[in-house]
Amino acid sequence: MTRSRRMAATMSALAVVASGLVSAAVIGVGPARADHCDPAQAAQEQQQGQRNRNNNQDQNQDQGQQQDQDQQGQDQNQQQQDQNQNQDQNGQNQDQNQQDQNNNQQQNGQQQDQNGDQQQNADQQGQGGGRAVLDPAQDPDAEQTAQDPDPEQTAETFGRRNRPTRNPGQGNNGNNGNNGNNGNGTASPSPTASPTAGGDEEECADLGPFPEDFVDIRQVAPRQLDARIGRGGSRGSFVSQCGTNRNGHNNPDNFIVAPGVSNGAHHLHDYVGNLSTDGFSTDQSLAAAGTTCRLGDKSTYFWPVLRDRKVDANTDDPDGNVGQVLRARSVTLQFRGNASSQVVAMPRFLRLITGDAKAATNGAGNARAAWSCTGFQNRISPDKYPLCPRGSQVVRILDFPSCWDGQNTDSANHRTHVVFPGQGGACPQGTKAVPALRMTLTYTVPQGPSYAVDAFPEQKHNPITDHADFANVMPDRLMQFVVSCINRGRRC
């Protein structure tokens, strides 16, 4: 009966432990999943998952402590029962010894009264001697107990203070043993998406951008974006008004860096100006096309779109550009002067790029991203998406190189024929200052870290990859007018 009660108590404790393990597996948080690959939602779910895991650990520790207390109480009850049984056994042995002594006295009296032969007395003494008296030290049951101790009370089962030791196979490491995965042979659920998870969990967990790619614009230090204009500098400007792409001219091509290739950019571009621009554009096709710009400017201006990542759109895109396209609320295409010299006309069909679409992997050497917010445009972030206060819009500032080699309209890397001015604003020796194009784009975006620029898949939508492209297809007369406005200090 005693062993049955012990076995029942042990099975009950194991059932409680197993129940805790099942509860942890059910309550435990699985891979964090972004809502339509929204970085804000992903961050919230990761924080909620961490809180749930902490709560599970607290619950498991409480269960482990309660199990220890219950088991200690069972051990104390079992010890009391064993002491009672030992006392009962000692009492029975004393009664048996007293009865044996009485029997011996009666037998000795019979031997004295009979005065029989001595051999019979000897036989009677042999029968009533050592075998009739039960010595507890030689009790067969006691000897068997000493040789085969109760397996539930061996050193392997009980540690110090008679507390049950934990079976490493169960891994009960202070709580349910599953969270720590410390010797239980079963891996605990991973808090992040595993490479084999598949579906939205795997894709969104690795698409980017990430919460650390965003910054409150009020935490960005103010800085001066432009060089101070000297005496010989050109102070004027010209703005080409080309709209905000209301006609929906978009494609993932780039005829400058990937001519003759469809989807050469692997991300969507917004276009204003020339209506025919795609991956197969040529000087001739651009010159023959229409335009969205005023004054006959057939130049092509394009940049990667910005997306609202809260909206479930474009989810089947093979390059991971998920979300609804955000159209710019305003597009300002301003040609500006040089800080230390007059400008000369751009040659027609001059091709320019700014920034590096692969800066996240190439490094920041050619990166030219500049992110800000309306009302805070003295605060420029080169590598973080800005989080703007309510009522303020996100601003993208894209400055193009403006020091031309005087000969070429393009180069092998699309950079060496036109470079950026030096730190003081002057062009390097051997180059000529041409009108400097600055694109300024503003957007109304969802609150929080919930938007991203389209990018190559391996760039993880890093804000440092912002870039833009331009090809000059202005009529020569219009370009001369631009130069005149800039050099005379006019705003046209």
Q: Which residue has the higher pLDDT, 364 or 133?
A: 364
Alpha helices in 115-134 (DSSP H): 118-128
pLDDT band at 407 (very low <50, low <70, confident <90, very high): very high
Model pTM? Answer: 0.64
What mean pLDDT is reported for the chain?
75
**pLDDT tens readout for residues 117-169:** 444 443 444 333 333 333 333 343 444 433 444 433 333 333 333 333 333 33
What is the side-by-side strand order in the sheet with 330-336? Answer: 237-240, 330-336, 436-443, 394-399, 371-373
Per-residue pLDDT, averaged over 486-492, amounts to 97
- The separation between the first and the last C-alpha atoms of the chain, rounded to the nearest angstrom, is 104
Say whether pLDDT at 177 is over 80. no
Say whether pLDDT at 472 is over 60. yes
**pLDDT tens readout for residues 315-338:** 999 999 999 999 999 999 999 999
Span of 66-80, 351-365, 371-385, 457-471 with lowest mean pLDDT: 66-80
Span of 138-147, 177-186, 343-352 with lowest mean pLDDT: 177-186
Say whether pLDDT at 176 is over 50. no
Q: Which residue has the higher pLDDT, 160 or 469?
A: 469
Instruction: Please give the distance of CA 31 from its chain centroid, rounded to a whole number.
Output: 10
Question: How do beta strands 385-387 and 214-216 pair?
Answer: parallel
Bridge partners of 336, per DSSP, are 237, 436
Q: What is the pLDDT of residue 206?
A: 80
Place of tokens 């009264």: 113
Say whether pLDDT at 215 is over 60. yes
**Strand locations in 351-419, DSSP E?**
351-355, 371-373, 385-387, 394-399, 403-404, 418-419
**Strand locations in 22-162, DSSP E?**
none
Place of tokens 């049950």: 164
